[in-house]
Structure 1
C-alpha cells in the first residue's frame, strides 16, 4: 500500500465537541467522522498535520451548510476571538493531542522533525504534527509562539477565515476571488519573522490574497497551503489563483489537495455525489502549474464534506487507485501521497 501523508484534519475539534467519548472517537472508532486509529491504519495514513482550531462562540457550520447547498453564497464572517479564551481552548486541544499519543499504545507519535516521522513509520507508528489553524492563541508580540514551539508546534496558519491580530482570512464565498481585504498587520509581519526564526511552517490556506503576497515578500521559507485547491477549476474564495500557485512553485513550496466538495466541484456545491473527475481535474491543474514535486494531499477530514468515492480515511486506497487509473505512474503517485510533504518539511524545518 502506498503510504499517505495528509496536510490537514480536524479530529481534535471533533474530540473537543465530545470529550467524554474520546476513547471511542480515537481508539476504536465510533462509526462517525472521518478519522480514528483503526481506519487510519486501514487507509495507509502514516502522517499528518492535526489542527488546533478555536471555534467561534456561534458555530457558523449550520449557516454554511445551508448556503453551500445553494450557490452562489457568501457566508458572513464570525467576529474576531479574544486572546484569553482562545489560549484556553488551544491548551485544551493540545492536551487532547498529547492524550492521543499516550493512549495509543505506541501506534501514534507526536513528531517534530522529518527524522522522527521516518523513525515512527519504520516502527509501525503514525506520525502527528501539531498545527494551529488560526493564530488567535498567539499574542500580537508573538511571545506565546516561543512557548508553543517548545511544546511541539511546527505549523501555524495566521488566520482561519475570521480576522485575527495578524491578518484577514477569506470568507467562504462562491464565486469569488481571494482578493477580499487588506494584507498583514504589523503583528502579522512580526509573526512571519518569528516563524522563520523558529522554522515553524506558515500555512497560507484561508489567508486572503494581500496577506498571501505579504508572506511571500517577507518569508524566507517555502510557501505552503496545506489544504487548498485551484481557483481556475473551482472559483471559490478559498482556492488559489494561478498567480498564487506560481509564487508557491518559485519558492519550492507545496499545496495539499483539499477533499472538501465545495472547493472541488465546479458548481461550488456541497453534494458528495461527484465521482473522481473533479479531484483529478484539480490535481492535473496543480501539477501542471506547480510540478509533480510540489503537490500532495490536504484532506480536511473531520472538517468538511468529502466525495462519496473517498467517504473517510479508509477510502484513501480508492483515491490512489483512481490516480493510477488516470495515468499517474506509481512513482509519481508516491510523490503526491508521501514524498513531497517530507521534502517541503525538510526545506522548512531543516531536519
Structure 2
C-alpha cells in the first residue's frame, strides 16, 4: 500500500484579497511565519500538503454585503453590490498582483508564480508553493482588452469574467437560495470579445460565477475545455451558484473540469453557511460530479479565505482529513490523486498548450 502523502493543487482561493485587506503591515512576514487569521499561509500549506493553486484577485466592492452572516439562514436573496468603478478595480487588481509577486520575492524559494504546467510541476517537485495568477471579476479590464494583454504578460493564466455583480462583460448569479442559475441575461458583446481573446491567448475562462445564459454563451464560443473552478452540484444544493446536471453534461462534453467548492452554503441541502457540515456532504457532491463528469472531470476548488468551510477541514492544514475521508469512503488512491491535483494539471495543460 502506498502511504506517500497526496499533494493538493487547489482551483480557487482568496488569500491575495485577505492580504490586500490586512491592516497590520505584517502580512508578508506572517504569511511565511504562520499565525495569521484565515485559511492559507506557508506553514498550514506545508502541513496540509497544499502544493499550489489558482490565487484569485478579487476587487472587492466598496459596500460588500456580509455574505456569511446573511447566508446563515435560508431562504435568502441578497442584493448585489453596485457595479465597480474601473479605476477602483484596476488599483485593487494591480495591488493584489503585486502582493503575489512580492510574496515570491520574499519567499526564499518557498513560493513560485507559475505560468505553465512545467512551472507547476517543477515547483511541486522542489516543495515550493505553486501559485497561478487568476482574476475573479474582470472590472479592471476595459472593452478594448488592453489590460488583459498587460495582465497576461505579467502572468495571468485564468480569469472569471464576472463575480456575482454585473460588469461590462456580463452578468453573474446573485446569492440566492433556492434558485436556479437562470437569473437573467448573459454575456455582452464585450464579454464575447473577451472570451475569444482569452482563447487566443490560452487563458482559462472560469464559469463559476456566470449565470446560465452566460455559461451557455461561453460554451458556444470557446474552443477550450469548460472549467468551473469552484462550483458544486445544483441537484444536491439548489443555490444559484451551483451547476445543474445539464450544465455538468456540457462541461463533460468539452472534457472540462469542475472544482468542488468547500463553501458550506453551496454544499448543504438547506443552502446555509454553517461550518458544522460533515465531510460526507463533500463526498456526496464529489460522487454526483463524478457521475456526470467522469474521473477526469472532478477536482477541488476550496474557496479558502473567501468562505465559511466545514470545521472538519478548518483550513489548509486540514486537507488530509478530506482525502482520508474519501479513501475511507471507497475512493481509490488513483481517483483521489486525480481529484487532488492530477486533473487540474491535465486541464491546465490542455487549455494553455493547445
TM-score interval w.r.t. the shorter chain? over 0.9
Measured in 2, the distance between the counterparts of 1:16 and 1:55 equals 10
Of 203, 207, 231, which aligns to 1:204? 207
Q: Report deviation, 1:24.
A: 4.4
Aligned to 1:32: 37
Contact 2:68 2:308 (8 Å CA) reproduced: no
Measured in 1, the distance between the counterparts of 2:28 and 2:330 equals 41
Q: Does 1:173 align with 2:199?
A: no
Q: Report deviation, 1:69.
A: 1.2
Q: Does 1:55 align with 2:89?
A: no
Q: Does 1:98 align with 2:95?
A: no
Measured in 2, the distance between the counterparts of 1:120 and 1:29 equals 20
Contact 1:15 1:25 (8 Å CA) reproduced: no
Measured in 2, the distance between the counterparts of 1:76 and 1:30 equals 34
Q: Does 1:334 align with 2:337?
A: yes
Of 139, 147, 151, which aligns to 1:136? 139
Measured in 2, the distance between the counterparts of 1:273 and 1:12 equals 26
Measured in 2, the distance between the counterparts of 1:111 and 1:100 equals 13
User: Could you say what secondary structure the match of 1:268 adopts?
Assistant: coil
Measured in 2, the distance between the counterparts of 1:237 and 1:227 equals 13
Contact 2:186 2:210 (8 Å CA) reproduced: no
Of 43, 66, 78, which aligns to 2:48? 43
Contact 1:266 1:278 (8 Å CA) reproduced: no
Measured in 2, the distance between the counterparts of 1:66 and 1:318 equals 26
Aligned to 2:75: 72
Contact 2:115 2:132 (8 Å CA) reproduced: yes
Measured in 2, the distance between the counterparts of 1:243 and 1:275 equals 27
Root-mean-square deviation (CA, aligned residues, Å) is 1.0
Contact 2:68 2:307 (8 Å CA) reproduced: no
Runs of 4+ more than 3 Å apart: none
Q: Does 1:6 align with 2:7?
A: no
- Can you give the 5+ residue segments of structure 1 that lack an aligned partner in the other structure? none
TM-score (structure 1 length as normaliser): 0.98
Measured in 1, the distance between the counterparts of 2:122 and 2:74 equals 46
Q: Report deviation, 1:31.
A: 4.4
Contact 1:110 1:128 (8 Å CA) reproduced: yes
Of 213, 217, 224, which aligns to 2:216? 213
Alignment of 1:1-351 (within 5 A): 1-18=5-22, 20-60=25-65, 62=66, 64-350=67-353
- How many residues were matched structurally? 349
Q: Deviations over 1:124-177 (max 9, x none)?
A: 211000000000011012111111100000000000000010000000011000
Q: Deviations over 1:102-142 (max 9, x none)?
A: 11110100000001111111222110000000000110121
Q: Report deviation, 1:30.
A: 2.2
TM-score (structure 2 length as normaliser): 0.97
Q: Report deviation, 1:66.
A: 3.0
- Can you give the 5+ residue segments of structure 2 that lack an aligned partner in the other structure? none
Measured in 2, the distance between the counterparts of 1:25 and 1:297 equals 26
Measured in 2, the distance between the counterparts of 1:88 and 1:307 equals 33
Measured in 2, the distance between the counterparts of 1:144 and 1:130 equals 14
